[in-house]
Amino acid sequence: SRVEVVEANALDFDYGAHPGAIVVGNLPYQLSGALLRRLFDAAHGLKRIVVMLQREVADRLVARPPGRNWGILGALTAAVGSARIVLKLPPGAFYPPPRVHSAVVRIEPASAGLDEKLARVIHASFQGKRKILRNALIDSGIGPPDVIDQALRASRIDPRCRAETLTIQALRRLAAGFEG
């Protein structure tokens, strides 16, 4: 009586229309990015998200800076809440066995949800992974150089650092440094 199974296209489903829901799913590897973004957009109203995905994607979701796995997925996940891997599965756990390892990730959303400005700053910052932050932001088109310089000063972030060294708190400060 406490479970509702909904048959629908996961990319079209309105997750926000089900406040307090726990979303559980086995995400198709090729659609995991798009599905996670939809879940993150509605995360503030969800109680929990539990998904199985390719292990490499799971490692990126739970990554923290600095580290080789810290990037857009980890930063977006940290922006919506906390995540941890709760189960690791080898290919032999499935029939027929896939060519990849899998993992189950549990995401506990925070009440605030994903702020669109923060999401834009995260994408812009990590767009040029090997670039210094100022150049990555300029190349992303998030704003003109003078606005970017002002946001970096306001957030007390070294413009020569790389995005993979920034914590979610620093990324939030940077997003706040952009006006409007």
DSSP the chain: -------S-TTT--GGGSTT-EEEEE--GGGHHHHHHHHHHHGGG-SEEEEEEEHHHHHHHS--SSSTT-SHHHHHHHHHEEEEEEEEE-GGGSSS--SS-EEEEEEEE-SS---HHHHHHHHHHHSSTTS-HHHHHHHHTSS-HHHHHHHHHHTT--TTS-GGG--HHHHHHHHHHS--
Q: Look up the pTM and report it.
A: 0.91
Tally Cβ neighbours within 10 Å of residue 146: 8
> Which pLDDT score is estimated for 79?
94
Residue 39 above 60 pLDDT? yes
What is the amino acid identity at position 92?
G
> Which pLDDT score is estimated for 180?
52
Residues paired with 81 in a beta bridge: 109
Residues paired with 84 in a beta bridge: 106
Residues paired with 54 in a beta bridge: 102
> Which pLDDT score is estimated for 134?
96
Residue 104 above 90 pLDDT? yes
Q: pLDDT tens-digit profile of 119-133?
A: 999 999 998 778 999
% of the chain at pLDDT higher than 70: 99
User: Please, what is the average pLDDT of the chain?
Assistant: 92
Q: pLDDT tens-digit profile of 123-179?
A: 999 987 789 999 999 999 999 999 999 999 999 999 999 999 999 999 999 999 987
The mean pLDDT value for 61-88 works out to 94
The mean pLDDT value for 67-75 works out to 92
